Amino acid sequence: MLTDARTRLGKTQVQAQEEELRRQSALSETEHRLKAVEELYSETLRKLEGLEIKQDTVAGKIQVLKKEMAAPRPIGFSFAQRELLGLLSGTLLALVLLYTPQNRHQGLVTVSDASILATGGLPWTSDTEVIHRIMQVPALSKTRLALPMPGECDTHPHDDRLIAVNEPNSRKLEPFKGLKTNLQILIAETGARIVLVCSSRSGMGRSTLVANTGYLMAQDGYSVAVVDANFRKPSLHRIFDLENHQGLSTNLCGTPNPVLHQPIFSPNLGILPSGPIPPNPSELLGSKSMIKLLDMLKRRYDVVLIDTPPFLEFPDAGILTSISSGVVFLSRLGEPEKDVQASRDFLKNLRSNVLGFVQT
């Protein structure tokens, strides 16, 4: 038994020694790993310490900015300040617009005030101011046109209404010359070459205005076509002493290539009378043939002046307004305001290009 005990003791000592060796080997390996980690940590610290962050930014490097920890604050006016500033600005603008005097819109070119009373034309009146306020367009003549009526006298070689031919040096022609000059300027500025002369009622002098203005423009070198589209009561053929067997109505009913009459006293003026009165004037004036005819006249002439029936009595002028490029409104002294307002609304609804107004 003693032998067995010694044998077991020896084995125990051997095992203890082997265990001690294994423990020392494990400790040595752990120490080696710790040492390797420490060396890696030290090397990393050295590399980090070698990286110096410069204050000034240079090409190829990044500048690190210090983060501001404070909460951002709004820049500029606050909401209440902006609302107050807007209220004050609007009030100031309203006061400026309310108390700033408005300049009266003047005509384009007119005769001087000194020559108004000597020209035979009538001066600017309160009635003209009313028309200007209602229509909101410039006056094409600063003086009212004193239009003669047929049959006043028989001493002239042509119709009494043709003042430009009968009395070329008369002072009564000066308002027509001012009207002609203003109309030429407006045509050049707006490109409105098909001009409609219209009025609210009959007896305003549309035909007289068309005839004299067309003649004066032709005298200035313009090629002018004067068209009588007043199928209700045509008169241009009487003013120019022409036959009325053929004219606008026959051309619209199928006769191709209309021939315009050319007066001896004005080679640049072409006149297309109304022709026989058709049974359906409105339908004829609104037809495709009328559009084609006006397009042809626009290519052949510099300006096309059209005489029309009155607005508030017949629908013909409204139909022509939609296919014309400019409108001259003619009024007469003493015309009721309601007629002028009705004409203004009528032209506004048709979106007409009203060049201006003339008073007789």
Mean pLDDT across 77-96: 81
% of the chain residues with pLDDT over 90: 15
- Flag whether 104 is in a domain: no
pLDDT score of 118: 35
> Residue 85 domain-assigned?
no
Within-domain flag for 265:
yes
Which position has the higher pLDDT, 35 or 62?
35
Q: Does 129 fall in a domain? A: yes
194 DSSP β-pair partners = 304
The pLDDT-based confidence of 301 (bands split at 50, 70, 90) is: very high
Angle at 321 between CA 221 and CA 274, to 5 degrees: 65
- CA dist., res. 340 & res. 134, Å (int): 7
User: For 98, phi and psi rounded to 5 degrees?
Assistant: -75, -40
Condensed to tens digits (0 to 9), the pLDDT of residues 150-182 reads: 554 456 667 888 888 888 888 888 888 888 999
Tokens of 124: 């600017």
pLDDT of res. 264: 80
Tokens matching residue 20:
């001690």
Domain with residue 219: its CATH number is 3.40.50.300
Q: Note the pLDDT of residue 107.
A: 38
- 31 in any annotated domain: no
- Residue 284 pLDDT more than 60? yes
At 123 the pLDDT is 52
When the pLDDT of each residue in the chain is averaged and rounded to a whole number, the result is 78
Cα–Cα distance, 178 to 71 (Å, whole number): 74
Nearest CA among 165, 149, 185, 193 for reference residue 325: 193
Determine the Cα–Cα distance for residues 210 and 145; give it in Å rounded to an integer: 12
Residue 108 or 293, more confident: 293
Q: Domain residues for 214? A: 113-359
- Structure tokens given for 43: 């090397």
Instruction: Identify the three-state secondary structure at position 139.
Output: strand
CA–CA dist 145, 332 (Å, integer):
9
Is residue 121 within 8 Å of 146, Cβ to Cβ?
yes
Residue with tokens 């000592």: 13
More confident residue, 98 or 308: 308
Q: With respect to residue 238, please indicate whether it lies within any of the assigned structural domains.
A: yes
pLDDT band at 196 (very low <50, low <70, confident <90, very high): very high
Q: pLDDT tier at 315 (50, 70, 90 boundaries)?
A: confident
Q: Which two tokens stand for residue 270?
A: 């072409």
Pairwise CA distance, residues 44 & 311, whole Å:
100
Given a cut of 80, is residue 274 above it in pLDDT?
A: yes
Alpha-carbon distance of 329 to 29, in angstroms, equals 115
Number of domains in the chain: 1
Of 5-19, 141-155, 172-186, minimum mean pLDDT range: 141-155
Residue 110's pLDDT band, with cuts at 50, 70 and 90, is very low
Closest CA to 356 of 202, 144, 200, 131: 131
Q: Residue 63 domain-assigned?
A: no
Query: Does residue 15 carry a pLDDT above 60?
Result: yes
pTM for the model stands at 0.64
Question: What's the pLDDT tens digit per position in 49-59?
Answer: 666 544 444 44
Q: What integer is the mean pLDDT of 294-316?
A: 90
CB 333 within 8 A of CB 357: no
Among 54-58, 61-65, 158-162, 215-219, the range of highest mean pLDDT: 215-219
In a domain, 61, yes or no: no
